[in-house]
Amino acid sequence: MRTDRKEGNAVVPIPWLATVSTTRSVAPTTITSCQGVKMDQYRSIGLNIVNRDKQNRSRWFASFTAVAVLTTALSYGSAANAADGAIIVARALDVGTLDRDAGPGDMGNMVIRSILDPLVLLDRDASIKPGLAESWEISPDRLTYKFKIRSGLKCHDGTPFDAEAVKWNFERMARPETTGVSAIRNLDDASVEGDVAVIRFKTRNDAFIRALGALRYGMLCPSSDKADGTFAPIGTGPWKFISWTKNDKVRLERNDDYVNHDPWIENPGAPHEKFLEFRVVPENVARIAALRSGEVNFAEPSYEQVAELRNDPNYKIWAGEHSGQFAWGAFTLKVPPLDDRRVRQAVVHAMDRKTYSEIAFEGQNSPINCPAPPNLPFIDQDLCAQWGQSYDPEKAKALLAEAGYGPNNPLKLTISVHQLPGWDLMHQIMLQNLKDVGIDATLETREASAFMADIKEQNTRTEGIPITWTWGSSGLDPLSPYEQQFVGAGQFNGGLGAEMDKLVAEARSLEGDAQGKAIQNIMQYILSEAFVYPIVSPGWQFVIATKSSTTGFVYQYLNMMNFNDVKL
Amino acid sequence: MGQVFETHNVAAHDQVLKAVDLSVSFQSGNSNAVAVDHVSFGVARGEMLALVGESGCGKSTAALALLGLLRSPPARVEGRILLAGRSILGLPPADLQQIRGKSIAMIFQQPMTSLNPVLTIERQLTESTMAHESITRSEAISRARDALELVGISSPETRLRQYPHQLSGGMRQRVMIAMAMACRPSVLVADEPTTALDVTMQAQILSLIKGLKRDFGVATILITHDLGVVAENADRVAVMYAGRIVEQAGTSELFRAPAHPYTRGLIAAVPRLDGVPIGSAQTRRLQEIPGSVPQAGPSVPGCPFAPRCPLASDRCRSMRPMEVAIAPEHLVSCWEYAA
Amino acid sequence: MEGVTPEQIEEMRRQLGLGQPAWVQSALYVWHAIQGDFGHTIVGREPVLGFLLSRLPATLALTASGLGIAIAIGLPLGFLAAYNRGRWIDNTLMFISVLGISMPSFWLGLMLLLTVPVYLDFIPVAGEGPASIILPALTLGLVYSAVIARMTRSAMIEVLSEDFIRTARAKGLRETIVMSRHAFKPASISIVTVIGLIFGSMMGGQVIVENVFSWNGLGRVAVLAMQQRDYPTIQGFIILFAAIIVTVSVILDMIYLWIDPRVRTG
């Protein structure tokens, strides 16, 4: 290996404050083997070629490929390695944007949250702990939230982070072009009282404080928005942004002044490693190959690769336990015979969720009984199992027979789904499950955006072929998924009706154990009616592989990756 | 297989190039096609031997065999080829290369395609001399210039810079001859050098070859199917039929007294302008030889001409006729004369 | 999906000119494209042309290296096969080349990914640094070297049956000179044609190879743009690709001029 070169490769300090670049940046390396004579290796190679062969252009052309390939192979073999204490994370997709408020999605948020710290933090038990805010007050009507901001907080560029900055953040999030900020939907205003930031809502906001600790709400420093209209994320978090080469990588550098408050993290200060890089490697095989060769330290595996690496003592699979994700299915309730509870129950009884988890997800996740993010208070899998439908093909057949369906008159049903790793295989098994109980099922798979548009349309139908469809939700608040999907019209026109609206509104108005009981009531109602069926948790982007020697990685809530404790 | 005699030639000891009992066969899979079947001939310094025959009779193959230009496999060459008394058949490729172009040069039938279209005349003229003699490039160019002048090409400087497609057909054949003569070879093999040219050009090229023969004493083998060309240029003639030499004689002797039925047929088939007024009652009708040249195949035991021969007997069909001298330097392979 | 207001949607429609009839949109696109304005990417709102041009060097470097490897391997092997035509070495080479031709580049790429890091761990596999060009270039190069080898062989064999080759041999030139000077130069006319075609198909093959090896060139852009329905980028990509192919064929014509004197004066 190249450990001998690791020490030799000093890296010229790069101004960490760089604008987002779309050019392919070549990290300058220096040759220290020349006894302190530093030279830009890349340029000198180029110049040598030109000088030497100036007279003989054709030979230069002929030898270009060989020289370029071989010289760079020899000199840069090491530069490509995870040297210099760089944590390199290979993922399939690039971030869409690094602007928190421009709709970064999960991929982007994970990177952004490495740069930005939130006001409050969520502990493993989902309790709320101080972050940038050392304390907070919530008005009983849940309209006003006051955060006392720690003193002496410094942004990566040296500017202070204070209550004014918090105000600026909420005002920025409240701009009309901001996306994905349902938790502050009815923001009234943000103001400053000394070192206290005051956030007011027009309507009662219960989910706010917990949402603040989640992936989405890291705090930017106002200097992120440059005078010339460009943007580069500046925060107070453990990693400073250096550069983003589109479709290639996002490079971050350790914030040496960092002070940790996150209860999940042992390291009290700055991260152990010097650099953190999120590299885009679209091909599954290439990601794992890069992990094997030591070129990257973290790699998203496919589920097939999980099975392969799991039994290899040299590798470790990290699976998110606090993902807040859950996969669920629902029905086009207005299309007969899905308006018949027995038919819905029969369909759910036919589904072997344990096998989905074991086969399609290589046992890396678990079947769930509650239609809610698991591992949250009041989400009791045993209770849910009593209310819902377990895998029982005989019962499914009996219920179908009761509803008038049998071998001579099979129920026609379409499973409508979107493509996703693991899910594709799960749906195949699901199709077989339904056929096994005599349902004449077909599988329709679409790409995600087409699926969303289609299901929205299908949910308005009242006749035709009935459909069952699957989707995934994530969150740290058990009511949020319901509010998003089943209350009112719902994201896919999948609202469950007035009864559901009433139950959720009631639960929202309660607190503590009373709210917990109300949540359980909602789940009992949904499960016994078989409006919605829970499938597995987590559902997507919840596994990552490393060498066994890598330690300290933490998957926090919503699969947020934390690298502060990581040692390579 | 019949008995084979060596050529009883008076000038045999002077012969620069001699083929003795030369055979060429082509093997592909299980079949074996004999293209040249135990032929013997030779050519002396300053002499022009014409190899005459219809197309497919093996004359070009024999010529290529002389220079070792047949690819083996599939070609298989047997017998002996003597260059100034030295056997050159079966020499290693490197030694053959030394002989080709230097001692034996060859010019080909198609001047249009026999020059490389993408190389300059200069390149094609100089590479031969540079391959065979240790001379500099400028010397080679000056030699090339001389060679072009020798073959009667004016403004050789310009021509040297040109490509073959910029030259006329006659000019190209002159270049070919210049190329062949560049190393002053002792033997020149000219394979149908005028076939592709118009009549005026034919005469010019042939007189050029004749001049070279005369001036430099080059032993020349002229391969042709044109008896008119033979009559005007060759010193001696070897008539080939189906891979064999059926008759050999001095040119005037052959035309005066053709012995082999095939030779007689050939000569009878040529239109003549020698004093007999066209349109008079005495005009002889052109004769044609019935039947056609046999396809190359396995060697036949008897006389290959037997199927078309008006005089053929059973013996002709079963035994190969011996070569007999019916006059000084006049050899014929026919049972008619063996008795 | 939340937080997009109808005003934003309307603004987007206006920006993209979606309210106009299709022919007006097309005409406007062409008019702007002529002026070098291919619009803005939907994802990221960057000027399409600048975005694509920033990736072009990576793609051209990969194509050039792949082509270089393909020629470096294919040409000598084709040469060798032609020289030994009909013999076992020819048969062996041609058998291998059939394997090469029938091998999809992504498959070869995956095989290289699976094996190379195990045995040659100094060769990068995940598109970082100039050395990471090795594997994708090798993948493209190996596949196309088979095509070049076959083409070289058949072009050489065709030329070797020409009369002028016999002339060259009759001059007593060494076989290597006959092959390299007399046979190769005329044969290179058809070889160059094939290389030109290969260049085009290699640019296409890049789309796959760049994704397999995380090479940040136009191929990656194209795949992502298609996944994201980024039509301006896809349009720009296609036009840029076409422009490159046209440029290459112009260069090819110039190479013909250089090789073949008949084209020059004829």
In sequence order, the 6+-apart residues with CB closer than 8 A to the CB of B274 are none
Evaluate the omega torsion of the peptide bond into residue B261 and state whether it is cis, within 30 degrees of 0: no
Task: Name the minimum distance, in Å, from the CA of C182 to any CA of chain B.
Answer: 7
Q: What is the C-alpha to C-alpha distance for residues A24 and C58, in angstroms, rounded to an integer?
A: 8
Structure tokens belonging to residue C84: 């030994």
Confidence class for position B316, pLDDT limits 50, 70, 90 = confident
Go through chain B and tell me how many residues it has.
339
| Cα-Cα-Cα-Cα dihedral sign, residues A400, A402, A405, A411 | negative
pLDDT of residue A180: 64
Ordered structural domains, chain B, with CATH:
1-103+186-272+293-301 (3.40.50.300), 112-184 (no CATH)
Burial class (CB in 10 A: 0-12, 13-18, 19+), A462: exposed
Highest mean pLDDT among A382-386, B102-106, C101-105: A382-386
Nearest to C63 by CA among C218, C239, C242: C218
Q: Which residue in chain B is spatially nearest to C163 when comparing CA positions?
A: B114
Our separate counts of H helices and E strands in chain B read 12, 12
Q: What is the C-alpha to C-alpha distance for residues A367 and A433, in angstroms, rounded to an integer?
A: 15
Full strand arrangement of the beta sheet holding A144-149: A133-138, A144-149, A196-201, A187-193
CB contact under 8 A, C174 and B163: no
pLDDT of residue A212: 87
Q: What is the C-alpha to C-alpha distance for residues A426 and A383, in angstroms, rounded to an integer?
A: 25
Instruction: List per-residue pLDDT tens for chain A, 568 residues long.
Output: 333 333 333 333 333 333 333 333 333 333 333 333 333 333 333 333 333 333 344 444 444 444 444 444 443 333 333 335 899 999 988 888 899 888 787 788 889 999 999 999 988 877 889 999 999 999 988 899 999 999 999 999 999 999 999 999 999 988 877 766 667 778 888 999 999 999 999 888 877 888 888 778 899 999 999 988 889 999 999 999 999 988 888 999 999 999 999 999 999 999 999 999 999 888 888 888 889 888 899 999 988 888 888 889 999 999 888 888 899 999 999 998 999 999 999 999 999 999 999 999 988 889 999 998 888 888 899 999 999 999 999 999 999 999 999 888 999 999 999 988 889 999 999 999 999 999 999 999 988 778 888 898 899 989 899 999 999 888 777 888 888 888 888 888 888 889 999 999 898 888 788 989 999 999 999 999 999 999 999 888 888 999 999 999 998 888 888 999 998 8
Beta-strand ranges (E) seen in A301-363 are 315-319, 325-331
Q: What is the C-alpha to C-alpha distance for residues A163 and A149, in angstroms, rounded to an integer?
A: 6
Pair A201, A187: CB distance under 8 Å: yes
Pair B39, B30: CB distance under 8 Å: no
Q: Which residue has the higher pLDDT, A3 or C242?
A: C242
Go through chain A and tell me how many residues it has.
568
Cα-based distances in Å from B333 to A433, B3, B77, C97: 94, 11, 22, 54
CB contact under 8 A, B110 and C163: yes
Q: Is A90 on the interface with C (CB under 8 A)?
A: yes
Instruction: Name the β-bridge partners of B37.
Output: none
**CA neighbours within 13 Å on the CB side: how many for C32?**
18
* Residues from chain C contacting residue B166 (CB–CB below 8 Å): 265
- Secondary structure (3-state) at A234: coil
Q: Is B91 on the interface with C (CB under 8 A)?
A: no
Q: How many CB atoms lie within 10 A of CB C190?
A: 16
Q: What is the pLDDT of residues B85-98, one digit of tens each?
A: 888 888 888 888 88
In b/e form, how buried is each residue of C147-169, taking b as 16+ CB within 10 angstroms? bbbbbbbbbbbebbebbbbbbbb
Q: Which of residues 170-189 of B touch C (CB under 8 A)?
A: 176, 179-180
pLDDT of residue B237: 92
Q: Is B32 on the interface with C (CB under 8 A)?
A: no
Pair A181, A101: CB distance under 8 Å: yes
In sequence order, the 6+-apart residues with CB closer than 8 A to the CB of A176 are C5, C7, C8
Q: What is the C-alpha to C-alpha distance for residues C31 and C38, in angstroms, rounded to an integer?
A: 10
- Secondary structure (3-state) at B321: coil
Evaluate the omega torsion of the peptide bond into residue A222 and state whether it is cis, within 30 degrees of 0: no
Check whether B8 has a pLDDT greater than 70.
no
* Residues from chain A contacting residue C213 (CB–CB below 8 Å): 283, 286
CB contact under 8 A, B127 and C173: yes
Residue with tokens 């018949």: A340
Task: Name the minimum distance, in Å, from the CA of C262 to any CA of chain A.
Answer: 23
Pair B145, B160: CB distance under 8 Å: yes
Q: What is the C-alpha to C-alpha distance for residues B125 and A113, in angstroms, rounded to an integer?
A: 77
The ipTM is: 0.80
Nearest to B196 by CA among B270, B113, B269: B113
Q: Is A223 on the interface with C (CB under 8 A)?
A: no
- Secondary structure (3-state) at A193: strand
Q: Is C166 on the interface with B (CB under 8 A)?
A: yes
* Residues from chain C contacting residue A248 (CB–CB below 8 Å): 127, 214, 216
pTM above 0.80, yes or no: no
Q: What is the C-alpha to C-alpha distance for residues A375 and A556, in angstroms, rounded to an integer?
A: 12
Q: What's A302's DSSP letter? A: P
